[in-house]
Chain A
Amino acid sequence: MFFFKVAVLGFPTTPDTESEIWDIEASISFVAKDKPVKLSLYLPRNTEHNTVVNEQFLSRGYGLISRHERGNRQAVWSIRQAVGEQNLYYHATVQREGAQGRRVFKKVPKIEPPNFEGPFLEAANALVAEIVSESADVDILVAGLLKRLHADQPSDHISLLLGKKATLEKKLQIAVRILSLQGSPARVAHGIQLKEQARDLPLVHWLQVFNEGSWSNYHPETYQSEIPEDYLLWWHGEDRMFIAKGADQTRVKISVSLSLESAINALVDRGQVLTPQLMAFSLFSLPIHAQTTYRILLMIPMGALLLVFLRNIVGVKTFGTFTPVLIALAFRETELFWGLFFFSMMVALGLSVRFYLEHLKLLLVPRIASVLIVVVLFMVGFSIVSHKLGLVRGLSVAIFPMVILTMTIERMSIVWEERGPSEAMSQCFGSLMVASAAYLLMNVKVIEHLLFVFPELLLVCLSGTLLIGRYNGYRLTELIRFKVFTRA
């Protein structure tokens, strides 16, 4: 099955073949005034660099329609009555890929009338004449125009057209109108820059001019006929990103995050994998959050295999059977160093409390419960203190499975009393060593990817475990234990 998927379906075997997938979220918040609310928001569109593969709208109680308008996509939410603060969400998954060639239009788009009047018209005409006289093609024409609009000390014509303290957006709008006057169809494009993990992303604006059958992009500051590849076109035109009626204090926040979904995911979303029977029963058919869970769950068998190896062939002593694997899972959140640090801290603190409780001669279950409560208290204290100190990592201490932690403390204290501190320490060290090794193994991206795409590889894992299950040779530690035999 593994080979079938690789050879026939062409599933990638390494995570490197993943293409870039971005999760984009726009959240709109506003205060409704107990009146009908109508709110329209432009939506990102497919371009030669980006494809919107999936989108979701979160808007409880609102009617929603989406429509196309002059090449833009727009979502319109409406509700008859709403009071108080409202939040609407738009979520899109966008795949970035290499340029796919521009769309070519046969028809030249209609030029919007520039609407200059009186002195403005004169100034604009003068400007056009000036620019045209010194440019041979559209690129130079646009560059010349943008350069003039951007000049630190603009000419009189331009100051008149721009007014005082023009924003970039305003400048671009003027540029569009001047270009219209000159006879070139142009428009302002708006979008975002897909940088890694950002919240409250600012909008970027640039100029699009229709030239020889397609729209060319012009960067407003470099004046070049190219824009960075990580620009995502959202909409174009003079309108604002959203228009709200019946609402106050409207605000849009755009956040993006890079998700390393495999190329397969995109393939599936775009319907390019043509064996639906197989795909219908793969993990990709699950909702995204369930998939994330399985990504982690599928790594547990690898940890277990390593544990079996370390316990039965090497002979490392650990607390509990699967405690180290669970600790390793917690390490995924905290990272190794901090994980080890937190774990040791928690166990050390818990142990000291446990030794105090010993004096109270408590019964077993209440005693374990009290240790559990103390462990939770320590977690809370730890998180608050480290947060105050500005250590973000401190918060992740809450990830540790506290019941596991409690049982580790209890077992450790019993071993401590019955077999002495050295045995307890060696078991604790063994547990941490196995946990670290399991963490390192479970964090190998290639393995995670392979297991997720090819869950049937777990059978290989299983067979390895079964093999070790019948291993009756010595453990490595036994070679040391029985060393006296070599002397005789």
Chain B
Amino acid sequence: MLKTLQALREKGVIGINQRNADFILPYNPRHLYPLVDDKLRTKKLAAEKGLGVPELYGVVEIVRQTQDLPQVLAPYDDFVIKPAHGSGGSGILIVSGRRKKLFRKPSGALLKESEVIHHVINTLSGMYSLGGHPDSALIEYRIQVDPLLESISFQGVPDIRIIVFFGVPVLSMVRLPTRLSNGKANLHQGAIGAGVDIPNGVTLDAVSFNDVVTEHPDTGNPIAGVSIPEWDKLLYFASQCYELTGLGYQGIDIVLDKDKGPLILELNARPGLNIQIANMTGLLHRLRLVEKHRHELGSAKTRVDFAKTQFARK
């Protein structure tokens, strides 16, 4: 027990208490939370800044609007419906195609139009939202997975999580959907997370729940050593999110689209700590370093350069 404690201290692993007390409470003012908790606002903010986001097809805010849903959906074969205030990836419905009047999910299951509408109504009633408050549903572009990442993911879309502290990318990982996670990229649902080396965007070994894995459990391909395309652009995107929200400590979720490149999916004001396991690296030393130098780092470029030089793997 004490040995574990000592090892964790040495590695600079932070726990939930320390994350909350030392980083989130002092550097993430409460009034900024709505910016990241509402995906619609995040999307608009990011679009204004010129950062790529998945195109918004429509918003359903009240139950009555579900009557027009078929018309809204008519031009699109594939789309994603998600709650504006969703948490932990719940309540996301992905439609990958149509078959006559039915909608097809990535798993191949078919949905009736009424079932899609029911999902939207559930979303509006707050079923998937933080605290169960009434919510609105976003209908947006479905990401086309970049072929480079397809070999290490199963169905679903892998996304890249970057922890950004005062605009400096500190730690990152790519979250890979598995059969177990049902095509979703959330670690607690069974997706696996692989650390990504900050300077060059090359993947490391992965973590499934709290254990280390080296191959994707469904595709069998080795996870480590994959170079993430457009890595520099990803880092810039992530770094610029600091100006977007003003939150000192945040987690940025970015996806790579085959055609449109990096798109910002969502921001998170209380990102999880498993990223430390995925990287086998504690956050504390890096965070403290950035904390010390944060006033010298003005532009996104200096911040990214700082991260690339400081956070290289030895």
Partners in one complex: yes
Residue B280 contacts which of A423, A470, A488 (CB distance < 8 angstroms)? A488
- Contact across chains for A363 and B122 when beta carbons are under 8 A apart: yes
As a 0/1 sequence over residues 277 to 316 of chain A, the CB contacts with chain B under 8 angstroms (1 = contact) are 0000000000000000000000000000000000010010
Contact (Cβ within 8 A) A361 B125 = no
Interface status of A355 (Cβ within 8 A of chain B): no
Q: A414 contacts which chain B residues (CB < 8 A)?
A: 127
Give chain B nearest CB distance to A311 CB in angstroms: 10
A485-B280 contact given A364-B125, A418-B189, A479-B1, CB 8 Å threshold: yes
Near A by CB (< 8 A), chain B positions 1-31 give: 1, 3-5, 7-8, 11, 13, 15-18, 20-22
Q: How far is the CA of A418 from the CA of B277 in the complex (A)?
A: 22
A486 to B11, CA, bound (A): 9
Contacts of A100 in B (CB 8 A): none
User: Which A residues, 450 to 488, have Cβ-Cβ distances below 8 Å to chain B?
Assistant: 470-475, 478-479, 481-486, 488
Instruction: Say whether A68 faces chain B, with CB atoms less than 8 Å apart.
Output: no
> Across the interface, which residues of B come within 8 angstroms of A473, CB to CB?
15, 17-18
Contact yes or no, A418 B90, CB < 8 A? yes
Q: Is A365 an interface residue (CB 8 A)?
A: yes
What CA separation (Å) do A482 and B10 show in the bound complex?
13
B21 touches A486 (CB 8 A): no
Interface size class of A (residues with CB under 8 A): 20 to 34
Closest to A366 in B: B125
A110 within 8 A of B: no
* 23 residue pairs bridging A and B, Cβ less than 8 Å apart: A315-B16, A363-B122, A364-B122, A418-B88, A419-B189, A471-B17, A471-B21, A472-B15, A474-B5, A474-B13, A478-B8, A478-B16, A479-B5, A479-B8, A481-B210, A482-B210, A482-B276, A483-B210, A484-B280, A485-B7, A485-B282, A486-B3, A486-B4
Q: Which A residues form the contact surface with B (CB < 8 A)?
A: 312, 315, 361, 363-365, 414, 418-419, 423, 470-475, 478-479, 481-486, 488
CB contacts (< 8 Å) of B18 on chain A: these are 472-474
- How far, in Å, is B196 (CB) from chain A's closest CB? 18
For chain B, residues 118 to 136, give those with C-beta under 8 angstroms from any C-beta of chain A.
118, 121-122, 125-127, 132
Q: Is B211 within 8 A of A484, CB to CB?
A: yes
CB <8 Å contact, A484 and B210: yes
Task: Please determine whether B211 and A475 come into contact, CB atoms closer than 8 angstroms.
Answer: no
Min C-beta distance of B183 to chain A, whole Å = 14
Cα distance, A481 to B88, chains bound together (Å): 19
- Most chain-A CB neighbours within 10 Å: which of B1, B125, B211? B125
* A486 and chain B: residue at smallest CB distance: B7
Write out the residue numbers on chain B whose beta carbons fall within 8 Å of the beta carbon of A483: 4, 210
The answer for the CA separation of A139 and B5 in the assembled complex, in Å, is: 80
- Chain A residues, Cβ within 8 Å of B15: 472-475, 478
A315, A414, A423, A486: most-surrounded residue (chain B CB, <10 A): A486
Q: In the complex, A481→B212 CA distance in Å?
A: 12
Closest to B6 in A: A486
A469 to chain B, nearest CB (A): 8
Q: Which residues of A contact B20 (CB under 8 A)?
A: 472
Bound Cα distance A481, B22 (Å): 20
Contact A363 B125 (CB under 8 A): yes
Structural contact, A470 and B4, CB atoms closer than 8 A: no
Size bracket, chain B contacts: 20 to 34
- Which residue on chain A has the smallest CB distance to residue B209? A481
Select from chain B the residue with minimum beta-carbon distance to A363.
B125
Q: Which 8 A-B pairs have the closest CB atoms?
A: A472-B18, A364-B125, A474-B15, A472-B21, A486-B7, A478-B15, A479-B4, A363-B125
Cβ–Cβ contact B189 & A475, under 8 A: no
From B22, B207, B280, give the contact of A472 (CB < 8 A). B22
Q: A470-B21, A472-B21, A482-B210 are in contact. List 8 more A-B contacts (CB 8 A).
A: A363-B125, A364-B122, A418-B88, A472-B18, A474-B18, A485-B11, A485-B280, A485-B282
Q: How far is the CB of A468 from chain B (nearest CB, A)?
A: 9
Distance from B278 Cβ to chain A, minimum over Cβ atoms (Å)? 10
> Which residue of chain A lies nearest to B87 when distances are taken between CB atoms in the complex?
A418
- B188 touches A (CB below 8 Å): yes
Interface centre among A315, A414, A419, A482 (most CB of B within 10 A): A482
Q: Could you say which residues of chain B place their CB within 8 Å of the CB of A315?
A: 16
In the bound complex, CA of A213 to CA of B212 (Å):
94
Q: Please determine whether A364 and B127 come into contact, CB atoms closer than 8 angstroms.
A: yes
Output the least CB separation between A363 and chain B (Å): 5
Assess whether A482 is in contact with B8, with CB atoms less than 8 Å apart. yes
Q: List A contacts of B282 (CB < 8 A).
A: 485
Give the complex CA separation of A394 and B12 in angstroms: 52
Q: Which of B156-199 contact A (CB under 8 A)?
A: 188-189
Query: How far is the CB of A217 from the nearest CB of chain B, in Å?
Result: 67
Measured between beta carbons, the chain B residues less than 8 angstroms from A479 are 1, 4-5, 8
Cα–Cα distance between A423 and B1 once the two chains are bound (Å): 24
CA distance A164 to B179 in the complex (A): 95
Chain A nearest CB, measured from B272 CB (Å): 11
Which residue in B88, B125, B211 is a CB contact (below 8 Å) of A365? B125
Q: Which residues of A contact B22 (CB under 8 A)?
A: 472
Within 8 A of A (CB), among B201-254: 207, 210-212
Q: Chain A residues near B189 (CB, 8 Å)?
A: 418-419
Alpha-carbon distance A89/B117, docked complex (angstroms): 65
A89-B275 Cα distance, complex, nearest whole Å = 71
Give chain B residues whose Cβ lies under 8 Å from the Cβ of A484. Answer: 207, 210-212, 277, 280
- CB of B202, distance to nearest CB on chain A (Å): 18
Q: Flag if A363 contacts B16 (CB, 8 Å).
A: no
Interchain CA distance A288-B171 in the complex, whole Å: 61
Residues in chain B near residue A419, CB distance under 8 A:
188-189
